[in-house]
Chain A
Amino acid sequence: MTGTHTVDVWRAVEQFLFREARLMDANDYKDWLDLWAPECTYWLPCNDDNADPHEKIALIYDNHRQLEDRVWRLSGLHAHAQRPKSRLSRVVSNIEIELDDGTEVMVHSAFVLCEVRKDQTHWWAGRNLHILLRGDDGFSIKLKKVMLANNDTIMPNLTFII
């Protein structure tokens, strides 16, 4: 299906992902949460990009309520792992629309992210799969699956929004 969508759709999807990246980089949890559909899944597989979440643990497998919990936790003073907060800068690229049925848009992208916290710099990278819902006010996120390049190796804390 790639290539059959219009430039307008492609631009709109790209702008949405860029906006999401900017809000995540700024640790702007509240506005980031507003991007999500009421029924949603925020999923970071563990060990294997294709691990079945019904049979295996994930790094994150949040529904909307858990997303709210995550944002609530990070917004206070006692999420010790984010005090001080990570400073973040990421590039989202390789944006590819796989499917657009008029209601939902399935989008692939890749990212490279630099995290700086205290005296440490960590580089993170991976691929994203978004399923975006079309609404009157633009897109909302129904599914975001983040496939980290390092999801099957030892890793430090991952407590910022990725």
Chain B
Amino acid sequence: MLQRRGEPLTDVGDWASQFIRGDSVNSEIYTSPAIFEREMQKIFYGTWQYVAHESEIPKAGDFVTRRIGRQPIVVVRGDDGAYRLLMNRCRHRGALICELDHGNQSHFRCFYHGWTFENTGKLVHIPKDDAYPADFDRDAFGLTPVPRVDSYRGFIFASVNPDVASLREHLGLAASKLDYMIDASPTGELILDGGTHKTSFRGNWKFVGMDGYHPPVVHQTAFEIFRRNAALENPEVDAKAAQAPRKTMNDSPLAVSRDLGHGHAMLDVVPHRISEQEHHLEATRYMPGGQEYVAAMFAAYGPQRGAELIAVGGDPHLGLFPNVQMINQHVRIVVPVAADRTDVYLYAARLGGVSDEFNEIRLRKHEEFYGPAGFGQPDDTEIFERNAEGLQAIVNPWIDISRGRNREYVDDDGSIVGKISDEVTQRGQTREWARLMSTP
């Protein structure tokens, strides 16, 4: 490990430098409608966004509707088997051609004047088309494709900026971190069909960061409940754990916050969990369908990698700038609505090649913490709203994100690393925010 320090937030670009001074950030970036509008143009229409997962549209005709920033799109698998991202806008006068959240259709008909498109985007019907000349070029009036589309192992990303760099370049070090989530399945299949928690809060989208400092404070009640229940559910595992007390994340040198570059950030507890893999293996074997799962993982990946993947539990705890996080059993899309309003969608993932009972346990674990009525996420929502209220006090508008900069270092792969509770992640996200916001 190199011990070179990470840099303070200098050279953030001319525009951003008015809001960022070293480790201080002006809270106006969380409250200003004008800055939010600039974010729409420079970030949400400038870089890559995660939009959907291929498992959501397995069959010809399957579609989901999503947004890139404010722009509505349809992610649809055509009858030719290929998936496409099409602007959800009729080529005639611009009404939505699809009003549903998801479904399966061979055609999309705009119910304003009846223009009808195949699920490949091709225009196939114009009512009363005698009003157009015989050589009217219908093929030029297909649904408009999203300019840039690419994917990583089923995760579909898109950009409305035709000049954006490649997705591989954008994901960089973060790409391989996604593998932890996908390879929790012995068949390498992530299936995002477990249902969607649709939540909202009155606050800025950037509050949904990747923060390893808050859990013991915000989620004190949830952790207490989980601790008690672990003891109830498998007393033998718990008794063993009591004999060899496990390090908490805060104390472990193996649980770190990581800035992966391009604003991607990770609460990297992978080495910590692998160091306790015997405990995780035993706990997994106690779960319904657990023995079978461990055997399938060992067969698929070999005992060493299999045990590591089980220990990691499919949780990369990864945030890809600007709009998606992969956490525990779900993929989370952050939708910016206004400077003071954010919608958050949590898509629960099931694992391919795994028994129904094992997948069901994962769903139950998800809803116990997440969603509008879980034991964890509502407290995050509450704190985000308190944050939005507090930031209205602008006599001194500066917030501090210096935590742990005195002890962060640059890892061999070039990522910047600090302790789990350090603000390495916030600095990484802010650096990318500043870079994009300062583009001409």
Chain B interface helix/strand/loop/mixed = helix
Q: A80-B382, A157-B378 known; A59 and B371 CB under 8 Å?
A: yes
Q: How far is the CB of B147 from chain A (nearest CB, A)?
A: 28
Residue A35 CB within 8 A of the other chain: no
User: Within 8 Å CB of B363, what residues of A?
Assistant: 53, 55-57
* Inter-subunit contact B343/A154 (CB<8 Å): yes
Residue B366 CB within 8 A of the other chain: yes
In the docked arrangement, what's the CA distance between A51 and B348, Å?
A: 14
User: Within 8 Å CB of B228, what residues of A?
Assistant: 69
Which of B220, B348, B356 counts the most chain A CB atoms within 10 A?
A: B220
Which of A57, A70, A72, A158 counts the most chain B CB atoms within 10 A?
A: A57
Residue A135 CB within 8 A of the other chain: no
* Inter-subunit contact A44/B343 (CB<8 Å): no
In the docked arrangement, what's the CA distance between A46 and B346, Å?
A: 12
Which residues of B361-380 are within 8 A (CB) of A?
363-364, 366-368, 371-373, 375, 378-379
User: Within 8 Å CB of B196, what residues of A?
Assistant: 46-47, 57
User: Within 8 Å CB of A59, what residues of B?
Assistant: 197, 367, 371-373
**Which residue from chain A places its CB closest to the CB of B198 in the assembled complex?**
A154
Cβ-neighbour of B364 out of A61, A78, A157 (below 8 A) = A61
**Which residue from chain A places its CB closest to the CB of B357 in the assembled complex?**
A54
* Inter-subunit contact A73/B225 (CB<8 Å): yes
In the docked arrangement, what's the CA distance between A56 and B228, Å?
A: 26
Which residues of A72-95 are within 8 A (CB) of B?
72-73, 76, 78-81
Chain B contact residues, CB within 8 Å of chain A: 101, 193-201, 218, 220-222, 225, 228-229, 232, 343, 348, 350, 356, 359-360, 363-364, 366-368, 371-373, 375, 378-379, 381-383
Beyond the given pairs A55-B363, A57-B196, 17 more chain A to chain B contacts, judged by CB atoms under 8 angstroms and listed by A's residue number, are A44-B373, A47-B196, A53-B363, A55-B360, A57-B197, A57-B371, A58-B195, A59-B367, A69-B225, A70-B375, A80-B378, A80-B383, A155-B200, A157-B372, A157-B381, A158-B373, A159-B378
Chain A contact residues, CB within 8 Å of chain B: 44, 46-47, 51, 53-61, 65-66, 69-70, 72-73, 76, 78-81, 152-159
What are 19 A-to-B residue pairs whose CB atoms are below 8 Å?
A47-B195, A51-B195, A55-B194, A55-B356, A56-B195, A57-B197, A57-B363, A59-B367, A59-B373, A60-B373, A61-B364, A70-B375, A78-B220, A80-B378, A152-B101, A155-B372, A156-B199, A158-B372, A159-B378
